[in-house]
Structure 1
Amino acid sequence: MQSFPRSRREFLQRAAGGFGALALAGMLAEQAQANPADPLAPKKSHFPAKAQRVIFIFSTGGVSHVDTFDHKPKLIADHGKTITIDNWQGKKGTFERTLKKPNWAFARHGKSGTWVSGLFPKLAGVIDDVCVFNSLYGDHTGHDKATMGMHTGSFNFARPSIGSWVSYGLGTVNRNLPSFVVLAPHAPYTGAQAWGSDFLPGCHQGTHIVPGPNPLPNLKPRVPYPDLQAMELDLLRSVNSAHRESRAAEAALDAQIRAFETAYGMQQEAPEAFALTGETDATLGLYGIDRKTTAGFGWQCLVARRLAERGVRFIELIDVGSSANWDSHGNMADHERLAKAIDQPIAGLITDLKQRGLLDSTLIVWTTEFGRTPYNLNASAMGREHHHQVFSSWMAGGGVKGGVTYGTSDEYGINPDVDPVHVHDFHATILHLLGMDHEKLTYRYAGRDFRLTDVAGEVVTDVIA
């Protein structure tokens, strides 16, 4: 015999049971400091924004700057020579090391003449839309710490992800989809902290989607009839509203009510957003995929475009996880396989967004946790070690100047030389393009105001169109 709920708590538990893990991620973690009426409501930026959304591409493992975007003629000329350095894998001292030239030839591309290595021939074809940073640097040489630093601005302590900060600062324009989505076959070295909200309200954490034949396995209605489920939701809303009126101090309840409504909306809209059946063969070809493709970086990039045009505020793409990635200690040849997997999809994403008139309002960011050493222990070494002192990243669209290379490293690519850019500066610039002042985007926690850029960070104004 069907039993009826004996309490409000039991009623909520039953009603929530089939909404799916995707929709309910972080729902009950809402904190009272959040806007009790609607923590994800669209918010005004501090000043007019150039970008409305971000597609953040993270290549796990540490991509070699001197093999990709940082052309060093003197490194090529002095290959095999011994030099003295003062920092080896984060340790200070005096070390003798051997210079190692890049494995791939560089050439100038586009009207801008931007240097790109042979690893990225497709990206080289759209390089006039890209702004390359060749003087980026971080604070740690370990994968987990550097990955956390690039995602949260903190190299030592768990903090909210940049995607969570953007969601918190701007809200979302589509309540039927998460404001922050992560498309990743595997987590990076720092795990789910890469998209965690930490002390920010739980609704701002990233929703992790694993590519595959069924990327939304838990997103299904509790009952097979939408009208019946809508009636259940109305009843649930009535019970919650009555409870809310009698408990004025329970600030998180309104956010929970919104979360149930969002879960219902996601059942209607999310499956369509991930379905590629309506895409043309020409569009699929841009990304290097076909109609049978359900995973891979081309699929991730195309789904990112579909989420972007449907109002998702921050989309992160992780091309590989914590294994079989760009961490080429033993063999730089690994870079060729990994670059081939992302080269056409990224170029296709830039081209597709541009054709649809979305590139100007969509900021694409490509980065990694650090670079790789321009030297190694000896001349016979096949790989490169970790190198946080300087590395390359790039941005495209979203108010960034295309065809620009900002900052330079020294003659061998060991340290920044001109216009160094710290990770905090990189983050400050991303927030600025979204119309947010990184010094004003704060959250009160444990007695102090926290922000993505800690107590540092300068906007790199020279790259802004």
Structure 2
Amino acid sequence: MLGISRREMLRSASCGFGYLAMSALCGQNSFAASSATAPSLNARPPQLPARAKRVIFLCMSGGPAQLDTFDFKPQTGKKKHAGSVFDFKQHGESGLWISELLPETAKHADKLCVLNGMYADITNHAQSFLQLHTGDRLRPRPSLGSWIVYGLGTENQNVPGFISLFPRKPSVYSSAFLPPVYEGTPIGLNTSDMSKATINNIASDHLPARVKRRQLDFVQAMNREHATRRPDDSRLEAVIQSMELGFRMQVAAPELLDLSNETKSTLERYRVGQGKVVGACGDSDFGRQCLLARRFAEAGVRFIEVNHGSWDQHSNHRADLTANCESTDAPIAALLEDLEQRGLLEETLVVWGGEFGRPGLVPENKKDGTGHNARGFTFWMAGGGIKRGLAYGKTDPTGARAIEGKVHFRDLHATILHQMGLQHDKLTFKQGEREFRLTGTEGGKVVKDIIA
């Protein structure tokens, strides 16, 4: 044991691997869960024929103004109504209308399926953001990423199955009542500097690797003995698996987070370190996030969330929206380009959107600001078996509400699960005496019209 006593090993293990695994992999809002089978991260076959192997969710928090990004509503007549205040052009063979603020994304118009008929239930940020991620606007529920890893496991046993980059709050990556092993791993909490972000407590060089392995085996033997006396407590198995994953991650994770082996041209295409900061949301370094998302996708991470804010332009609409688009446009285009070139786009479902949209900017608004609008807004999807170059659904002439091709968050969730090979009404978890699912008792429908 290289001179390390049993007592020293136990102390080092309890303060090392246990803290490393649980702080790196488990979030802040885990609850006790019950299930007929032990929780596992092992890859499992899909329930349905799968078109996608993974999801990258580009979360634009705050409510992106759809009328100045992807839902063109020209202001016409002598007395102009609220509508698009930036110029739009049609792009690609599909002729999708895209704002002048997104010239790089516009080059990939024929990859996009633009959902202009999105709608949600409420216009408060917190509740709608929670519903976007968990399907429920009031109570803590498992995040979409947790449900997917619960249903499919993960392709790479050396990295987490669910990673959230620059998350705003724990609801983004919480597993809630699902076993903690399905919790998302946050990297770079909101208001932090993404250039310095890492998986907390993953680095460990206090002992040689073979000694750390023996140390962990010693602790795990006690854990498994403890677990045999409590067969119904899934949390114990989750801790055991988290500690094993924490050990493996010490080798795999630092390499994935290290961008030093990327070329200068790649870093420039993604605009790493060049994004503008809007509001008090911290330096999200959105380009770094998108590049990391590509690397995590290549490594087999099942669900990757990339976060950017704030799109809540109650004032300075033109200037702040321009800055947000400048920060995100080129990195998103680079991500789509790389996924396509590397043969990953067809098996990667990319989703862009926020918790709701915004009404049109009233011309006489002196603050140059807009409010919240959950009755009609825009998402887009790309890859993962979704139709390309399609504008699906529409809002009324002023963009105030969805009137055709309406898609609720429940429908969005059902469609994402379907493309991943999961049946939304069969992916359930029993908590207490109730069966829970992502799409809830009100259900959702797969939007078949957008599936290729």
Q: Confirm or deny that 1:418 pairs with 2:404.
A: yes
Instruction: State the match for 1:438 in structure 2.
Output: 424
Query: CA contact under 8 A between 2:387 and 2:450: conserved in structure 1?
Result: yes
Instruction: State the match for 1:45 in structure 2.
Output: 46
Query: CA contact under 8 A between 1:27 and 1:202: conserved in structure 2?
Result: no
CA distance in 2, matches of 1:192, 1:113: 39
Shift in CA distance, 78/408, structure 1 to aligned 2, threshold 3 Å: same
In the TM superposition, residue 199 of structure 1 has moved relative to its aligned partner by: 1.1
Query: CA contact under 8 A between 1:361 and 1:399: conserved in structure 2?
Result: yes
Instruction: State the match for 1:207 in structure 2.
Output: 185
TM score, norm. by length of structure 1: 0.86
Query: CA contact under 8 A between 2:272 and 2:286: conserved in structure 1?
Result: no
Query: CA contact under 8 A between 1:22 and 1:219: conserved in structure 2?
Result: no
Letter of the 1:309 partner, please give it.
E
In the TM superposition, residue 338 of structure 1 has moved relative to its aligned partner by: 0.5
Q: Confirm or deny that 1:265 pairs with 2:252.
A: no
Instruction: State the match for 2:277 in structure 1.
Output: none
Shift in CA distance, 160/216, structure 1 to aligned 2, threshold 3 Å: closer
Instruction: State the match for 2:140 in structure 1.
Output: 158
CA distance in 2, matches of 1:277, 1:358: 22
Instruction: State the match for 2:327 in structure 1.
Output: 341
CA distance in 1, matches of 2:231, 2:410: 40
Q: Once the two structures are superposed, what CA deviation does each residue of 1:297-348 show, in whole Å capped at 9, x if it has no partner?
A: 110000011111111110001012xxxx111111212100001000000000
In the TM superposition, residue 432 of structure 1 has moved relative to its aligned partner by: 0.7
Query: CA contact under 8 A between 2:85 and 2:361: conserved in structure 1?
Result: no
Query: CA contact under 8 A between 2:35 and 2:430: conserved in structure 1?
Result: no
**Residues 296-315 of structure 1 aligned to structure 2 (within 5 Å):** 296-315=285-304
In the TM superposition, residue 28 of structure 1 has moved relative to its aligned partner by: 12
Instruction: State the match for 1:92 in structure 2.
Output: none
Shift in CA distance, 33/119, structure 1 to aligned 2, threshold 3 Å: same
Letter of the 1:362 partner, please give it.
T
Letter of the 1:157 partner, please give it.
R
CA distance in 2, matches of 1:269, 1:79: 62
In the TM superposition, residue 262 of structure 1 has moved relative to its aligned partner by: 0.7
**Residues 258-407 of structure 1 aligned to structure 2 (within 5 Å):** 258-289=241-272, 296-320=285-309, 325-333=310-318, 334-374=320-360, 376=362, 378=364, 380=366, 382-407=368-393
Letter of the 1:337 partner, please give it.
A
Give the gaps of 5 or more residues in structure 2. 189-193, 275-282
Shift in CA distance, 229/18, structure 1 to aligned 2, threshold 3 Å: farther
In the TM superposition, residue 22 of structure 1 has moved relative to its aligned partner by: 4.7
Q: Confirm or deny that 1:463 pairs with 2:441.
A: no
CA distance in 1, matches of 2:62, 2:29: 34
In the TM superposition, residue 380 of structure 1 has moved relative to its aligned partner by: 4.2
Instruction: State the match for 2:96 in structure 1.
Output: 114
Candidates 103, 118, 124, aligned match of 1:142: 124
Query: CA contact under 8 A between 1:366 and 1:394: conserved in structure 2?
Result: yes
CA distance in 1, matches of 2:172, 2:78: 37
CA distance in 2, matches of 1:121, 1:79: 30
Query: CA contact under 8 A between 1:18 and 1:220: conserved in structure 2?
Result: no
**Residues 96-111 of structure 1 aligned to structure 2 (within 5 Å):** 99-111=81-93
Between 13-22 and 379-388, the greater mean CA deviation after superposition:
13-22
Between 198-207 and 109-118, the greater mean CA deviation after superposition:
198-207
Between 21-30 and 100-109, the greater mean CA deviation after superposition:
21-30
Q: Once the two structures are superposed, what CA deviation does each residue of 1:12-55 show, in whole Å capped at 9, x if it has no partner?
A: 63453563665342599685635765521212211110000000
Instruction: State the match for 2:279 in structure 1.
Output: none
Task: Give the secondary-structure state (helix, strand or coil) at the position aligned to 1:198.
Answer: coil
Query: CA contact under 8 A between 1:18 and 1:221: conserved in structure 2?
Result: no
Between 453-462 and 443-452, the greater mean CA deviation after superposition:
443-452
Between 214-223 and 156-165, the greater mean CA deviation after superposition:
214-223
Task: Give the secondary-structure state (helix, strand or coil) at the position aligned to 1:307.
Answer: helix
Query: CA contact under 8 A between 1:213 and 1:295: conserved in structure 2?
Result: no
In the TM superposition, residue 174 of structure 1 has moved relative to its aligned partner by: 1.5
Q: Confirm or deny that 1:195 pairs with 2:195.
A: no
- State the identity %: 39
Candidates 115, 140, 145, aligned match of 1:133: 115
Q: Once the two structures are superposed, what CA deviation does each residue of 1:72-100 show, in whole Å capped at 9, x if it has no partner?
A: 13xx104755xxxxxxxxxxxxxxxxx32
Number of residue pairs the alignment of both structures matches: 435
Instruction: State the match for 1:429 in structure 2.
Output: 415
Query: CA contact under 8 A between 2:148 and 2:303: conserved in structure 1?
Result: yes
Instruction: State the match for 1:216 in structure 2.
Output: 199
Query: CA contact under 8 A between 1:162 and 1:452: conserved in structure 2?
Result: yes
CA distance in 1, matches of 2:408, 2:128: 12
Query: CA contact under 8 A between 1:100 and 1:379: conserved in structure 2?
Result: no
**Residues 76-91 of structure 1 aligned to structure 2 (within 5 Å):** 76-78=75-77, 80-81=79-80
CA RMSD of aligned residues (A): 2.8
Give the gaps of 5 or more residues in structure 1. 82-98
Instruction: State the match for 1:58 in structure 2.
Output: 59
Query: CA contact under 8 A between 1:30 and 1:252: conserved in structure 2?
Result: no
Query: CA contact under 8 A between 1:442 and 1:449: conserved in structure 2?
Result: yes
Q: Confirm or deny that 1:255 pairs with 2:238.
A: yes
Shift in CA distance, 18/449, structure 1 to aligned 2, threshold 3 Å: closer
Task: Give the secondary-structure state (helix, strand or coil) at the position aligned to 1:119.
Answer: coil
Task: Give the secondary-structure state (helix, strand or coil) at the position aligned to 1:443.
Answer: strand
Task: Give the secondary-structure state (helix, strand or coil) at the position aligned to 1:155.
Answer: coil
CA distance in 2, matches of 1:251, 1:200: 9
In the TM superposition, residue 217 of structure 1 has moved relative to its aligned partner by: 4.6
In the TM superposition, residue 385 of structure 1 has moved relative to its aligned partner by: 0.8
Shift in CA distance, 251/457, structure 1 to aligned 2, threshold 3 Å: closer
CA distance in 2, matches of 1:166, 1:129: 24
Between 310-319 and 99-108, the greater mean CA deviation after superposition:
99-108
Between 345-354 and 255-264, the greater mean CA deviation after superposition:
255-264
Shift in CA distance, 213/380, structure 1 to aligned 2, threshold 3 Å: closer
In the TM superposition, residue 366 of structure 1 has moved relative to its aligned partner by: 0.3
Between 389-398 and 274-283, the greater mean CA deviation after superposition:
274-283
In the TM superposition, residue 281 of structure 1 has moved relative to its aligned partner by: 2.9
Letter of the 1:124 partner, please give it.
A
Q: Once the two structures are superposed, what CA deviation does each residue of 1:381-409 show, in whole Å capped at 9, x if it has no partner?
A: 51111111100010001111110010011
Q: Once the two structures are superposed, what CA deviation does each residue of 1:339-385 show, in whole Å capped at 9, x if it has no partner?
A: 10000000000000101000010000001111111254955451111
CA distance in 1, matches of 2:268, 2:410: 37
Instruction: State the match for 1:87 in structure 2.
Output: none
